[in-house]
């Protein structure tokens, strides 16, 4: 019986680790904290696996657990100052191939865009990350955040308007859009 549960968990939950990590990274803004958040999420999911309905949406279920974990403790931990001895951290070996998360953000999304997304209020940042970065459908986002689909659409619309306002000058300076010649 335990082998069956483990096999089901592996088949349903483990394929979503990359998505969970990317969402956790956007929520925490720290790779180590994102790793810890994903690990805690998977542990909680495994413990609650009996309550998961086989055949339902595992990704939305896992994102819901991750978000609840983040809300229940990660914000306060993130704000707490930590001391790190930078000299004690060994340099990673040069493999010549960056990790997928690093490649994604370095090649597709500019640092200025990431900064603008990170500066969004939490309720807007969550929907932007889940919709625009993770490409989850509105129904899954609504399920994960426990809000109506209409609220997802409204928050996404408002978040994109905020980002548009914050990134207009940057887009003009980099030639992404033509300059209007007006100062914002």
Q: What is the pLDDT of residues 121-156, one digit of tens each?
A: 888 998 988 888 888 899 999 988 889 999 999 999
pLDDT, tens only, 42-101:
999 988 888 888 778 889 899 999 988 888 875 565 555 555 565 665 555 555 554 444
Please tell us whether the domain made up of 2-77+105-173 is placed in CATH 3.90.1570.10: no
Q: Hey, where are the domains in the chain?
A: 2-77+105-173
Pick from 45, 51, 40, 17: nearest CA to 134:
17
Question: Where do the H-state alpha helices sit in the chain?
Answer: 2-12, 17-28, 31-47, 58-69, 75-79, 100-107, 111-118, 122-128, 138-145, 149-173
Note the maximum CA span of the chain: 68
pLDDT, tens only, 20-39:
999 988 888 889 888 999 99
- Place 174 in a pLDDT band, splitting at 50, 70 and 90: confident
């Amino acid at each position: 019986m335990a082998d069956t549960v483990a096999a089901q968990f592996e088949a349903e939950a483990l394929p979503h680790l990359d998505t969970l990590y990317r969402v956790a990274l956007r929520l925490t803004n720290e790779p180590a904290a994102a790793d810890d958040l994903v690990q805690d999420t998977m542990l909680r999911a495994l413990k609650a696996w009996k309550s998961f309905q086989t055949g339902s949406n595992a990704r939305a279920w896992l994102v819901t657990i991750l978000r609840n974990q983040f809300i229940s403790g990660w914000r306060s931990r993130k704000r707490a100052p930590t001391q790190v001895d930078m000299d004690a951290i060994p340099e990673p070996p040069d493999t010549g191939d960056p990790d997928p998360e690093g490649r994604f953000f370095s090649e597709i999304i500019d640092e200025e865009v990431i900064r603008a997304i990170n500066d969004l209020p939490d309720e807007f940042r969550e929907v932007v990350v889940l919709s625009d970065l993770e490409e989850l459908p509105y129904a899954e986002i609504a399920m994960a955040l426990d809000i109506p689909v209409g609220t997802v659409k409204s928050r996404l619309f408002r978040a994109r308007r905020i980002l548009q306002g914050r990134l207009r000058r940057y887009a003009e300076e980099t030639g992404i859009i033509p300059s209007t010649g007006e100062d914002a």
